[in-house]
Structures are given as structure tokens and as C-alpha cells.
Amino acid sequence: MNKQEICSVFRKLAIEAGGKIMEIYSRDDFEVKSKSDDSPVTIADETADAHIFAGLRAAFPDAAIVTEEQSDTHSFKGNTFFIVDPLDGTKEFVHRRGDFTVNIALVEEGMPTLGVVYAPAKQRLFITDENGKSFEELGDHDPNTVGEMKPMAVSKPDESALIVVASKSHLTQETKDYIAKYNVADSASAGSSLKFCLVATGEADIYPRVGRTMEWDTAAGQAVLQGAGGEVVRYDNHQPLTYGKPIFENPYFIAFAPGITLQEA
């Protein structure tokens, strides 16, 4: 597969899916259903998923695709595949907080290498190029016209005054206890994969996640962060967070800008 084409398709599909999500977001009311794990799902999740899946299948008919909203894709076993979360941060969407994203990534040999994270309500788009370098696209985010691409780079962290970002909807006591091990000057909260992107842009230094996530929640954000010079490691042993795991479930992890001395779990 041509990586430049992959990035172009990712971008277009994410923006188009974001437009469909915002049409539903602007309605006075929409149905919220519960999945088997009690997490919420809406017509926006399903509409965005159908659009992205169809677009990827049309462009790359032989590629393996894993997507949150289609359980039949979760039986795939391998380490090279596309992975999609069509609406990450459904709770933020339902509560109209704006911190939700469209996530599409390519995993190669167990590592996310290309990805796009689009936050339509925030009008922010983060994407890797074909070389895996990360950019924030400025402008109107027209699906057919690429705007100004601003290169992204992580911060040079000051360990005496770190900026931490954590989950809005899933901030556990374990996460709070772990954050307390660092010298924190400021903290921010964000929903969805935006937390990875805030580290990637240098708006935060570290994002610890001591709570359950799935690979579709993290792959695109990890690709963007890595393309900006950041790292994502397991919480328990500080080894790289890899993909293609059983049932696509992640261990706890830490996303950070290099230069931080990671504390033990």
C-alpha cells in the first residue's frame, strides 16, 4: 500500500465522518444506547463507522480493518491492520462537551505508524505524513483541500514543573496517586485521544492512563505522538505499547515527552 495514499484517505474520511458527527451533534435530541460493556453508543458512532469502513474498504480492498463498532472485526489476529474508532469520547459527545475525536490508524508489525485524530467540535486536526511525521492542519479542514500544515513537536519538559493531562471521564484514584509522584505545576483534563495530541503539541508533558482502554482508543493518538517525538510505554514495565493483543485490550500506559524520568507504578 502506498503510504501517501493511506494518509490522504485517512484525512478525507476523518473529516467527512466528522461532518456527519457534527450534523447529529447539532440536533436537539438523539438516541443513546448501551453496548454489552455498558458503554454508550449513538447513531453518530454508527454513521461515522459505516462511512469510514466503506471508504477504507473501497480504497484498500485487501487490507485488514478492525473497528470498534463492528464486533465481527474483533476476531482478527495479526499485527498489521487498519484500526478505527469512529467516535472516541462518546460520553463527551452525549454530554455536549466537545472533546470527542475521529481516530484512524495504520498498525504495522504491532506498532501504530500512521494516523489521524480529528476533533470536529474543537476544529483541530492532527495527522501524520507518509514518513510518520506529525502535523496539525490549520484552516477550514475541507476534505478535498489540504490546509496549512504546522509541524508538531513535544515539549522539552521541566521536571520541576510538569504539565499533566488526564481523562475527563475516567480519572481513577490510581491515576491521581501516580500523578502525585511527579512535580506538577499545572494539569489539564481532556476527553478522548486529544490527550495524546496535547502532549504531541507541547501543550502537556505527560499523560498517564491507569484505567482500561482498547487499541482503537489509542492507536491514532499514539501514532501522532510518536511522529512528534513522544513515546507511549506500558505502565507496569515501561516497555513500548504494542498492538494486535488479545481482544485488542491495552494494559495501563504512560504517554510522555522524552526527558521525563518515569516513576515506577
Residue ranges, CATH 3.30.540.10, the chain: 3-151
Mean pLDDT score across all residues of the chain: 94
Task: Record the pTM.
Answer: 0.95
Q: CB under 8 Å to 247, separation ≥6 — which residues?
A: 74
CATH superfamily name and code, 3-151: Fructose-1,6-Bisphosphatase, subunit A, domain 1 (3.30.540.10)
CATH fold of the domain at 162-256:
D-Maltodextrin-Binding Protein; domain 2 (3.40.190)
At 80 the pLDDT is: 98
- Round to whole Å and give the CA distance between 102 and 98: 12
At 27 the pLDDT is: 86
Q: How many CB atoms sit inside 10 A of residue 57's CB? A: 13
Question: Which comes out higher in pLDDT, residue 85 or 168?
Answer: 85
> What is the mean predicted confidence (pLDDT) over 81-105?
92
Q: Considering the chain, what percentage of its residues have pLDDT values greater than 90?
A: 84
Q: Residue 35: pLDDT above 70?
A: no
At 95 the pLDDT is: 83
Residue ranges, CATH 3.40.190.80, the chain: 162-256
Helix ranges restricted to H, the chain: 3-25, 43-59, 90-94, 173-179, 194-200, 215-227
At 92 the pLDDT is: 87
Q: Which residues of 132-145 are buried (b: 16+ CB within 10 A; e: fewer)?
A: bbbbbbeeebeeee
